[in-house]
């Protein structure tokens, strides 16, 4: 169980939603994937994007982060419009992206992977704080990054972003393919980060896991947000959610 108090992230002073997305569209080449995504996230919230494969959830995260070649609409973060900014500038605002494939470099050790990205803002976690969250990482520092288990690679990917000072986290399928005990550890980490003031958007297929960490759930279908379900009302809307997800 994590008991150490983390250094609280440094956030801006903008009032209202921390992130406001309006009319977000995105393309992969000629393929039009997002068709006007609208949603917002308040400071300190954990929200999930739920939907079937191919609905546009991952593309939404990539569009917020600015790693999609063509996008338009509005993405306002801490009161600043970011739609025209390059991804490196968006990262410096305090947004951190952990992709589904985790992005661990095979040619680098665990320690080198962990130390690779620069600090972009004050408030990044120290190595000892990261090791408190993920003790497995400390034991494997000299190992090749891709020699870790899937769960350990996920811990490394999240820890690497927390070191940079990012206070708004975009986590894409963090529990996919992981053992239940590791999923529980990832869940405990997300709840700890929320408690310490981090804001998180979570793309997650496992809505039962999402229910243990999130405040609200946005349902994405064919590149649009079609519904929002507060976490407290998820059980009451379970049949509708099964219909959305094709469960």
User: pLDDT digit string (tens) for 8-37?
Assistant: 565 554 468 999 999 999 999 999 999 999
The pTM (predicted TM-score) of the whole model is 0.91
Cα–Cα distance, 36 to 73 (Å, whole number): 8
The residue ranges of every structural domain in the chain are 19-245
Over the stretch 32-55, which tens digit does the pLDDT of each residue have? 999 999 999 999 999 999 999 999
- pLDDT for 7 equals 58
Structure confidence at residue 122 as a pLDDT band (50, 70, 90):
confident
pLDDT of 148-188, one tens digit each?
888 899 999 999 999 999 999 999 999 988 899 989 999 99
Q: How far apart are CA 115 and CA 133, in angstroms?
A: 16
**49 contacts 100 by C-beta, under 8 angstroms:** no
Q: Work out the percent of the chain whose per-residue pLDDT is above 90.
A: 73
Q: 19-245, superfamily in CATH? A: P-loop containing nucleotide triphosphate hydrolases (3.40.50.300)
């Amino acid at each position: 169980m994590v008991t150490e108090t983390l250094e609280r992230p440094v956030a801006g002073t903008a009032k209202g939603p921390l992130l406001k997305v309006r009319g977000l569209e995105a393309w992969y080449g000629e393929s039009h994937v997002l068709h006007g995504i609208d949603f917002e996230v308040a400071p300190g919230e954990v929200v999930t994007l739920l939907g079937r494969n191919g609905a546009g959830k991952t593309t939404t995260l990539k569009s917020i982060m600015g790693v999609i070649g063509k996008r338009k609409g509005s993405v306002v973060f801490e009161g600043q419009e970011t739609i025209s900014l390059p991804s490196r500038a968006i990262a410096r605002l305090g947004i951190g992206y952990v992709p589904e494939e985790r992005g661990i470099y095979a040619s680098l050790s665990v320690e080198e992977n962990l130390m690779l990205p620069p600090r972009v803002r004050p408030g990044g976690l120290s190595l000892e704080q990261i090791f408190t969250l993920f003790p497995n990482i400390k034991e494997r520092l000299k190992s090749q990054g891709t020699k870790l288990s899937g769960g350990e690679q996920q811990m490394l990917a999240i820890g690497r972003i927390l070191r940079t000072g990012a206070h708004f986290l975009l986590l894409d399928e963090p529990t996919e393919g992981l053992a239940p005990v590791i999923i529980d550890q990832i869940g405990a980490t997300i709840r700890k980060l929320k408690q310490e003031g981090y804001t998180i958007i979570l793309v997650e297929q496992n809505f039962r896991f999402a229910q243990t960490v999130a405040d609200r759930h946005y349902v994405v279908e064919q590149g649009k947000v079609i519904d929002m379900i507060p976490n407290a009302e998820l059980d009451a809307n379970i049949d509708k959610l099964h219909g959305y997800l094709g469960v």
